[in-house]
Amino acid sequence: MIENDNNFAAESLDLLVHEPSKPARLMNPVVLAYAGDAVYELLIRQYLISKPNHQSHDLHREATKRVSAKAQHVTLERLAPLLTEEEADIVRRGRNAKSGKPPKNADPADYRHATALETLFGYLFYERRGERIRELLAVALDDEATKN
- Mark out the alpha helices in 1-145 (DSSP H runs): 2-12, 29-49, 56-66, 69-79, 85-96, 108-126, 130-142
Q: In angstroms, rounded to a whole number, what is the distance separating the alpha carbons of residues 2 and 27? A: 38
Longest dimension (CA), the chain: 49
Q: How far apart are CA 41 and CA 64, in angstroms?
A: 9
Cβ(5)–Cβ(82) under 8 Å? no
Indicate which residues carry an active-site annotation. 37
Within 8 A by CB and 6+ apart from 123, the residues are 24, 25, 27, 32, 36, 87, 90
